[in-house]
Amino acid sequence: MIATADPFTAVHAAALFLSDLSTADHPASVEIAAAIQRSLRTHGGSNGCAAGVAAVYGDYPELAVPRMRWARALVERRHGVEHCHGVERRHGVERRHGVEHCHGVEHCQGQETLALAA
């Protein structure tokens, strides 16, 4: 299964990927935020970070894959995103097939409808 990230997660994961933090580190949330900001400044924003990630994947794919998994996991954990059996949960809100489910109510494009009980 290929998991896709929302643009916010993708940009922050790319910036963290290029940061000076080690995958052996267990950084606090403020350290993660600082590392992301430093990388975004150093690499000229999200486009520069994307180019940097692409270069590393081209040169060192065997190192890039585990590092990106690490970076994405830290970013998702920092922002309260969990993945369980293909369902994304962000701060208690589930997302299935592009529709958010929270407290038994289905939210779709800003409109609420009652979720049907199975």
| Structural tokens at position 54 | 């692409």
Residue 10 burial by CB count (10 A; 0-12/13-18/19+): exposed, middle or buried? middle
pTM of the model: 0.66
Query: What are the DSSP calls for 17-61, one per residue?
Result: HTSS--TT----HHHHHHHHHHHHHHTTSHHHHHHHHHHHHHH-H
Low-confidence ranges of the chain (pLDDT < 70): 1-5, 81-118
Per-residue pLDDT tens digits for 39-58: 999 999 999 999 999 999 99
Domain ranges of the chain: 1-79, 84-118
Strands 105-108 and 99-102: antiparallel
